[in-house]
């Protein structure tokens, strides 16, 4: 990502470049913003230039952290970006630089990802419930838990539909707090959701501010006749066996 020539080589002969790479250590970025920006902003620009030169479309994966998290209704795709953290600023710059370098860029924002590989919230919660009687989870941040398989599927559908360049939101529908999501994990793991107790963010102060409201709208998809991902709880029920491995 930081090496423009390596990006060029990677994009050679390719029809669509999907940029999933990022500096995602949200808290570390607060004290290492230039290093995060090298990947999330400059790196995205390198890939955009490489895609343009290769005649490929670019899918720039982005995040809810580009918004201020203070809204009370879902963020539209064209809502003004106002990141509140270093990570969010670098990702917002990545969107801007990618679109500036390559007009055929689809900015695909996602959020609250979980999947079968790597660390993710549901597996952490399920593991903690195996170890402890009760858990305290924040109930003052809401968002849309989203399965990585659904994001991949939506990216494929956008490309297959030859969607116009622009911003799209690849999140589940509905909304829930981390506490509510943790209770859903308990349900899917076959244990009592009351073991997950609500608490507030004040009990978990971290270096980077977390958006209180991370709910994204899906009107741009609907206008194209592309079905959004669907309700977060229904999708989690489908995903849970593979994600929780039980
Ligand atoms: N996780 C979420 O809830 C979430 C929410 C919203 C948006 N997103 C976005 O979704 C995308 C994927 O996130 P993720 O959670 O899957 O992140 P992740 O697990 O941290 O994966 C990021 C990937 O980027 C690679 N990478 C980092 N620096 C690189 C560099 N300089 N050159 C090449 N590759 C580099 C990493 O490779 P190594 O493993 O080799 O370091 C890793 O494979 C990102 O754009 C992120 O901003 C994620």
The domains of the chain, with CATH numbers, are: 4-245 (3.40.50.720)
Which residue from 146, 143, 127 is spatially nearest to 135, judged by alpha carbons?
127
Q: Which residues are catalytic?
A: 87
Q: Tell me, what's the pLDDT at 203? A: 84
10, 24, 124: residue to mutate for ligand 1 pocket, most atoms within 8 A of CB? 24
The rounded distance, in Å, linking the Cα atoms of 78 and 76 is 5
Average pLDDT, rounded, for the chain: 97
- Distant-in-sequence, close-in-space partners of 202: CB < 8 Å, separation ≥ 6: none
The pick from 21, 118, 169 for probing ligand 1's pocket by mutation, whose C-beta has the most ligand atoms within 8 angstroms, reads 21
% of residues, the chain, pLDDT over 90: 98
* pLDDT single digits (tens) 9-42: 999 999 999 999 999 999 999 999 999 999 999 9
> Average pLDDT in the 222-235 region?
98
**Ligand 1 centroid from CA 191, angstroms:** 32
Sheet holding 142-143, edge to edge: 176-177, 142-143, 213-214
Is the CB of 26 inside a 6 Å radius of any atom of ligand 1?
no
Taking the model in full, what pTM does it have?
0.98
Tally of CB atoms within 10 A around 68: 18
Integer angstrom CA distances of residue 146 from 22, 162, 174, 203: 18, 23, 11, 25
What confidence tens digit (pLDDT) does each residue in 53-103 have?
999 999 999 999 999 999 999 999 999 999 999 999 999 999 999 999 999
pLDDT at position 10: 96
Q: Find the 40 Cα to ligand 1 centroid distance in Å.
A: 9
Ligand 1 atom nearest 1 alpha carbon: 32
Is 204's pLDDT higher than 90?
no
Residue 236: DSSP 8-state: H
Check residue 112 and give its pLDDT.
Answer: 98
């Amino acid at each position: 990502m930081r090496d423009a020539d390596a990006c060029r080589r990677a994009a050679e002969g390719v029809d669509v470049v999907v940029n999933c790479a990022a500096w995602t250590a949200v808290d570390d970025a607060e004290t290492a913003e230039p290093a995060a920006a090298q990947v999330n902003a400059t790196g995205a620009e390198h890939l955009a230039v490489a895609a343009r030169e290769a005649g490929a479309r670019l899918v720039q994966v982005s995040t809810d952290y580009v918004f201020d998290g203070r809204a009370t209704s879902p963020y539209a795709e064209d809502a003004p970006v106002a990141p509140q953290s270093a990570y969010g600023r670098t990702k917002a710059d990545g969107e801007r630089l990618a679109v500036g370098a390559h007009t055929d860029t689809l900015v695909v924002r996602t959020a609250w990802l979980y999947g079968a590989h790597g660390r993710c919230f549901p597996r952490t919660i399920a593991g903690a419930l195996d170890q402890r009687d009760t858990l305290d989870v924040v109930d003052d941040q809401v968002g849309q838990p989203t399965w990585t398989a659904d994001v991949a599927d939506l990216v494929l559908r956008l490309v297959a539909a030859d969607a116009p360049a622009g911003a799209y939101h690849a999140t589940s529908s509905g909304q829930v707090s981390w506490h509510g999501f943790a209770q859903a994990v308990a349900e899917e793991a076959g244990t009592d959701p009351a073991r997950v107790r609500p608490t507030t963010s004040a009990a978990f102060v971290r270096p980077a501010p977390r958006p209180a409201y991370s709910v994204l709208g899906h009107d741009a998809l609907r206008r194209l006749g592309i079905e959004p991902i669907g309700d977060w709880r229904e999708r989690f029920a489908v995903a849970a066996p593979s994600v929780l491995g039980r």
